[in-house]
Structure 1
C-alpha cells in the first residue's frame, strides 16, 4: 500500500473514532464510497455458510435468509456499524485500504437522517429544498452540514426514535436524496476518488438538530391506499388543473423542476394526476425542460403521493 493510502487510512480511522465518541456508529469505506469489507456470503467467498449450498441429495435449495451479521463475521455493510472503539479498530484492521468511513443512519441515540443535496445535474437541489420549506412552512435548523467533493451538501438531522425514515432518491424533490434507516452518510474527513468530505465551518461540533415535523411528514409518506375511482371533474377541478399548469408556466430558471414537482404532487393528491400529466408535461417543455426531465419529475411526484 502506498504511504499516502496508509496516511488516509490512519486519518479515516481517527475521524471515525471521533464520530463514535459522539454516538455515531461507523464503518470503513473504500475510495468508491462503498463499504470497504466484502460480504463473506458473496458467491465464491471463502468460508461460506453451510446453508449457502444445497445439502447432498437435496432438490433446489431454499434461498438463505439475508444475514445482517448474525454469522459473527465482518462484511455486512451498514450492519457492521459500531460505536465501540475496539470494534471500529477491528473493522479498519480488516480493511487497510479504507480511506473513509460511513455513518449509519436511523440508529440511536440520534436516529440520524441525511438530506443529500445533489449537484450532478442541472437541478438546483438547494433551491428545491428552500421552496419545499416555503410551501410546507418549515425551516432547516442549525445543524451539521458536510460538503461533498462535487459541491453537494449533506444536512444532518435527528429523527424521533419511534419513526422509521426510508431511504429515497429524488422522491422528495429532484436532486434531493434521503439517507434513513439502513443507509449511511460519508463522514467528514473521508477521502474518495474525487476528493475529501468536509464540514461547513462552524457546524462541526453541533449536534444533529431535530428534524422539523413538517419535513418529517414528507419523509414518511402514509401507506399507499387502494386506488379509488376519482370524482367527476367539476368546474372547480378544471379550474384547479388550469391553475397548476399556469403555476408551472410561470417558473423562472432554477424553479422549473421544483414547480413542476409541486404541481404534479397537488394534481395526484386531488385525483387529477392522470388527466393533467400531458398538460403539465407540455408546460414543462415550454419552459425549457427536456421530455426526460419532465417525465422523471412527474414520476417522482407520483411515487411520493402513492400513485406509481
Structure 2
C-alpha cells in the first residue's frame, strides 16, 4: 500500500526534474516516463489543445512525443487527483486581489502544512502540491472570495517549465520550494470549510418575510442572503438603510451584510458600493428622547 512519502517520491519528485528540463517537449517526455500523465495546452496559455482536455492525458511516451512534435511550444497540462497522485492548492494573485492572506491563515491553522513542492505561477501566485490519498476522492472547487482554488479530482494544472505572457512580460511556472519534511495530503473539505464557513440557511417559512423595524443585523443578513437574482441589490440597499437608521457605522454594516450579499451572488465591489450608497442617502433615526447618535465618518474598508 502506498504511503504519502511513496507517492511523493514516485509522483512529485519528477516535477523537480521536469522543471529543470531544457525544453517543453523534454519536460513533457520526462513526466510521462515517470508515470505522470500529461496533455498539451495552448502556448503561453492554459487551454487544452486536445478534444477532451485533461481526460486525454496519458503516460504513453509515443503519444506525448507526437503531440509535442506538432506543437513544441505547447504548455504542459497535468490532471490532478487520483490520476496523477497529487492535489494542488492554487493561491491567486492579481491586481487588487490576493489569496496569500487566506493561505497564511490556513497555514497557521495547520490545514496546508503538508505540501511537498511549491511552484510560483506567472501571475505571482503559487501552486502548492500535496500527495493525493489513494482511493480518497477530493473534487476540485473554487473559493472566489478568498482567491484560493483547490485542484483535485476533476481538475488540472499547468506544470513547469510552461510559461505565460503577463503585463510585465513572459513568465514561467517555476519550482521555488521543496519541503524538507515528510509531506501529507491536504483535507480539501476542511480547507474549504475554513475558507468559506457555511452560513445558516434561512428557513423557507421566513426566507421571504421582510424583517421588521429594529431587526437585528443577523436577521437582516439572513434575509439578504436569501434574496433571489433580480432582488439582491435592492435587498442589500434596504437592509443597509435599516442599519444606518439603527445607528450602525459603515464598518459594522459591511461586516454584518457583505458576506451575506456575496452568498446571494453579488460581487464584492458592488456590495460595498451599495452599502456606501445607503449611507449617503439615509440618516440615523433620532434616539429616544430626541437624541441622535453622533455621525460616523465614512472610512475605507
For the 8 Å contact 1:147–1:198, the answer to whether it is kept is yes
* Structure 2 counterpart of 1:5: none
Deviations 1:109-140 (A, max 9, x none): 51x33222111132331112233455x66343
* Structure 2 counterpart of 1:104: 79
SS at match of 2:24: helix
Matched, 1:141 2:114: yes
SS at match of 1:34: coil
SS at match of 2:23: helix
Change (3 A) 1:210 1:75: same
Change (3 A) 1:76 1:177: same
For the 8 Å contact 1:158–1:208, the answer to whether it is kept is yes
Deviation at 1:15, TM superposition (A): 1.8
SS at match of 1:162: coil
For the 8 Å contact 1:81–1:103, the answer to whether it is kept is yes
For the 8 Å contact 1:144–1:206, the answer to whether it is kept is no
Cα distance between partner residues in 2 of 1:207 and 1:96: 35
Matched, 1:273 2:225: yes
- Compute the RMSD of aligned alpha carbons: 4.5
For the 8 Å contact 1:28–1:102, the answer to whether it is kept is yes
Deviation at 1:94, TM superposition (A): 3.1
Cα distance between partner residues in 2 of 1:20 and 1:216: 31
Aligned partner (choices 200, 210, 216) of residue 185 of structure 2:
210
Aligned partner (choices 151, 157, 160) of residue 124 of structure 2:
151
Cα distance between partner residues in 2 of 1:124 and 1:85: 38
SS at match of 2:129: strand
* Structure 1 counterpart of 2:26: 14
Change (3 A) 1:199 1:272: same
Cα distance between partner residues in 2 of 1:14 and 1:121: 34
Aligned partner (choices 190, 212, 236) of residue 162 of structure 2:
190
Count of equivalent residues: 217
Matched, 1:128 2:102: yes
Q: Which has the higher contact order (CA 8 A, sep 6+)?
A: 1
Provide structure 1 residue ranges, at least 5 long, that are not aligned to the other structure. 1-8, 38-73, 243-266, 304-308
Moved more, 80-89 or 207-216: 207-216
For the 8 Å contact 1:189–1:198, the answer to whether it is kept is yes
For the 8 Å contact 2:24–2:161, the answer to whether it is kept is yes
* Structure 2 counterpart of 1:260: none
* Structure 1 counterpart of 2:230: none
Cα distance between partner residues in 2 of 1:207 and 1:26: 26
For the 8 Å contact 2:142–2:150, the answer to whether it is kept is yes
Matched, 1:34 2:26: no
Give the greater-gyration-radius structure (CA): 2
The alignment's TM-score, normalised by the length of structure 2, stands at 0.55
Matched, 1:87 2:47: no
Deviation at 1:164, TM superposition (A): 3.9
Cα distance between partner residues in 1 of 2:58 and 2:182: 18
For the 8 Å contact 1:106–1:180, the answer to whether it is kept is yes
For the 8 Å contact 1:167–1:181, the answer to whether it is kept is no
Deviations 1:55-81 (A, max 9, x none): xxxxxxxxxxxxxxxxxxx53221111
Structure-to-structure mapping, 1:275-294, within 5 angstroms: 286-287=250-251
